Amino acid sequence: MLEQFETVSKAVADRNRVRILKLLETGELCVCQVTTVLDLAPATISKHLSVLKTAGLVQQRRDGRWVYYRLAEREFNPYALRALVLVASSLADDPTVAEDRRLLHMVNAVPLQTLCDQGRAALSSKAQANTTCCGGPS
């Protein structure tokens, strides 16, 4: 039991992993979306998501070339859901979380293919003017 607690504790002790959890509170997201909002290398985001998944905090599904993550809905670790409740009830007025949500709103207006190909460059005003809301791959 202590090992499971430690795994969850270490997972939520990292600011970028908490930012990912806060983003996932809005719903399922593709790795490309998370990468674009946090502006970190895909390998770094993948590592963070792996830690969160090992801790039982997130679940994943694959749809073609895209991998989507969501907050855990089942209890894989007896401490995970309690940690998610704590994260959900925290940081409501944090400026970093607010900025991440603002960027996520912009990211959601870009098709996944464009986002995966261009990353943050897809958020330029020109790219945004020519896009519609993404609902996943077509």
The CATH number that applies at residue 14 is 1.10.10.10
Please determine, for residue 125, whether its predicted confidence score (pLDDT) is greater than 60. Answer: no
Identify whether 111 is part of a domain. Answer: yes
Identify whether 20 is part of a domain. Answer: yes
Closest CA to 27 of 78, 64, 61: 61
Are 34 and 20 within 8 A, CB to CB?
Answer: yes
Parent domain of 101: 2-129
Identify whether 81 is part of a domain. Answer: yes
In the structure, what pLDDT confidence band is assigned to residue 64 with cuts at 50, 70 and 90? confident
Identify whether 136 is part of a domain. Answer: no
State the total domains in the chain.
1
> What does the pLDDT read at residue 135?
44
Identify whether 138 is part of a domain. Answer: no
**pTM here?**
0.86
Identify whether 135 is part of a domain. Answer: no
> What does the pLDDT read at residue 137?
38
CA-CA-CA-CA torsion for 110, 26, 86, 7, nearest 10 degrees? -50
> What does the pLDDT read at residue 133?
42
> How do residues 74-115 score in pLDDT, each as one tens digit?
777 889 999 999 999 999 899 999 999 999 999 999 988 888
Identify whether 28 is part of a domain. Answer: yes
Identify whether 101 is part of a domain. Answer: yes
Amino acid letter at 51? V
